[in-house]
Structure 1
Amino acid sequence: MRSVLLILVLACTAFAVKAQTRASLNQPFEECHMKGSITVYDYNEKKWITNDIRDSQYPTLPASTFKIVNTLIVLETGVVADEHEIVPWPGSTDTVKYGFRPDIYHDMDMAEAFKRSAGWVYRELARKVGRERYRDYLTRLHYGNVDLSIADPDFWNYGPFAVSPANQLEVLVGIYEERYPFFSKKAYATLKQLMIAEQQEGYTIRAKTGWTMEGGKDTGWWVGYVETKDNVYFFATRIIKDRTTVNRDFNKCRMIITKKVLRQLGILPAA
């Protein structure tokens, strides 16, 4: 654990030295009445950009953005043969923790679960992967603090496990490059297909949302990358608010803020 923490500290220090902070990127957050950060990595230029360098390095629960890494782990451990293997509905779920979503309460494969963010599917799969295999993979990936001490299988939504936006992107760049030899070409290809969130002429967005309500706070994420004709831009947007504060646009603001910033930076075309 100490070695993992040391690596994370060194990585944060290197990020802080390299990152450009642009206060102008705060405007989309203000328009959404939200606090948080966006971290962008320009792949060709090897350049980091953020609106808040401290927040970019502050670790929190990754929520469903962990499905990016988790999908690779589930496939590589053979818990499912492929993304189309059916996972049986267990019959019930904790609606206090996860809300009431009857549209996802049925047998489902991982492909549908990823697209619809059906957390119960990944919780069932996590039980089969087991905590020790997760620790091994996350340590080798240098992803988060690897504190999986909570008994609940859903350690990415509840408990002390945490990862920063900058760390999310460092690992995501490695996934994009298929740098990690312990994941197969097939697993990488499957994940990249599942991550497609939007395809337009001139660009493709591959990403995953996340939202957890742990610790009296709403923590929302959108993590992914934009592929253009001549470059790739990685992004991690995270917004946080007290659960007592009402903002009916919280869900939408993750994407709204991200796209406004990406347009501001000239990565996406004007709306």
Structure 2
Amino acid sequence: MFRKSFLVLSIALLGNYPLLAQRVLPQFQPYFKEAGFEGSFSLYDLNKKEYATTDKADFIKATSPASTFKVPNTFIALETGAVRDKMEVIKWDGTPKRMKIWERDYYLALAYKNSAFWFYQEIAKRVGEEKYHDYLKALSYGNEDISGGLTLFWLGSSLKISPKNQLEVLQKIQAETAPFSARTYRIGKEIMVEEKTDTYTLRAKTGWADTKPTHVGWYVGYVETKGNVYFFATRLYQPDARQSDRFGSQRKEITRKILGDLGVL
């Protein structure tokens, strides 16, 4: 439960959302220090209509979305017909990839799960710049900048997004207010499911931008419970010179600790 003594301040949010309260959650900041990383956790509570964050400056700071862009990109791919459905196979061209797991034929559902970047690069070629401009504008997705290249703009290149904006985009997807068909929403939301129990459904995506001088790691998504929906965006930073095997895993571990403390998971 949130402590009543938290600092509450009003902020004007982007898009059509009204003036809402942002709560600061300092009690969760030690989780980042204990893990050895800088970063923040941000939350939107649908019932309370409240945004909360461990770091109000980081809440509005924009960085590369990296593979978290696969969330809207999956819906865009389905809606535009870049892929017919979640099982359409795109053949691997046989060239070596950074990860061995990517060296195989892929279909959309598996490519999302394994974050197969080359699959989504092929999708980008099929979607094209004009449609990306249209959908990024419709979603109010970050700075909407794809100038970094059709197959690279979300990979540490020109596209930038803040935790606040990640939460806003996720709300549009969950509420089905973005310009996608019912079929696209049904398939896209199925692909996003990471965990399902008797009490909640977790839909999420990780991301890792190996930018210099600081790597950026994301974990974003939302948890649907019987009585509420909680949207989250966690972001970690790691100096390029200080590689850590724990950087990838801590994105989820810190998030799950906080969601557990809040009684969401």
| TM-score normalised by L of structure 2 | 0.91
Query: 230-239 or 192-201: which moved more?
Result: 192-201
Offset from partner CA, 1:98-157 (integer Å, 9 cap, x none): x3x222211111111011111110001101111121011101111110111113512111
Offset from partner CA, 1:61-81 (integer Å, 9 cap, x none): 101110110011111111111
User: Which of 65, 69, 73 lines up with 2:72 in the alignment?
Assistant: 69
Contact 2:87 2:107 survives alignment (8 Å)? yes
The correspondence of residues 1-271 of structure 1 with structure 2, limited to 5 A, is: 11=14, 18-92=21-95, 95=97, 99=98, 101-151=99-149, 153-180=151-178, 182-268=179-265
Q: Distance in 2 between matches of 1:141 and 1:58?
A: 18
Offset from partner CA, 1:157-178 (integer Å, 9 cap, x none): 1312101011011011011000
Q: Distance in 1 between matches of 2:93 and 2:127?
A: 17
Classify the secondary structure of the residue corresponding to 1:158. Answer: coil
Q: Distance in 2 between matches of 1:212 and 1:111?
A: 22
Unaligned runs of 5+ in 1: 1-8
Structure 1 position 16, deviation (Å)? 9.0
Structure 1 position 90, deviation (Å)? 2.4
Runs of 4 or more off by more than 4 Å in structure 1?
14-17
Classify the secondary structure of the residue corresponding to 2:130. Answer: helix
Structure 1 position 246, deviation (Å)? 2.9
Classify the secondary structure of the residue corresponding to 2:212. Answer: helix
Contact 1:38 1:51 survives alignment (8 Å)? yes
Q: Distance in 2 between matches of 1:152 and 1:215?
A: 21
Higher helix share: 1
Give the letter aligned to residue 163 of structure 1: I
Alignment match, 2:8: none
CA RMSD of superposed structures (Å): 1.8
Q: Distance in 2 between matches of 1:56 and 1:16?
A: 16
